[in-house]
Amino acid sequence: MGYASVGFGAVAILAPRLFLGMYGVPNDDNVRLMTRMWGTRTAVLGALALALGDTGDRRTLMTAAAAMDAADTLLIAAAPVPARARAMGAATTAAFAGALAYGLTR
């Protein structure tokens, strides 16, 4: 999950136009800024997951990230954005939340 988060975040940071196009979100300066901020958050969480050596610390981070992704899923699913953006955004955050929850059971 750490590598996936870093990669996902890097795309959002370095190529926000591509990222927004994949999600069907209007491409303007404000949205690109928010996309980069979302990418930064995701990349930092992924880097922390990779850097943490203590299992307890890693579980705490994974629990917080799973809760954050679950909340993001609900917020995106209810957002007044184009249907494609809503579906893809909710599916992405739900997939991250599900993968983290699965990892926590192992």
Q: Could you read off the pLDDT of 2-31 as tens digits, one per residue?
A: 999 999 999 999 999 998 999 988 888 888
Nearest to 70 by CA among 47, 96, 44, 89: 96
Nearest to 13 by CA among 31, 30, 27, 32: 32
Cβ-contact 40, 74 below 8 angstroms = no
Please write the tens of the pLDDT for every residue from 68-101: 999 999 999 999 988 999 999 999 999 999 999 9
Query: Cα separation of 28 and 62, whole Å?
Result: 32
Could you tell me the two tokens for 100? 């983290």
- pLDDT reported for residue 35: 92
Please write the tens of the pLDDT for every residue from 40-66: 999 999 999 999 988 899 999 999 999
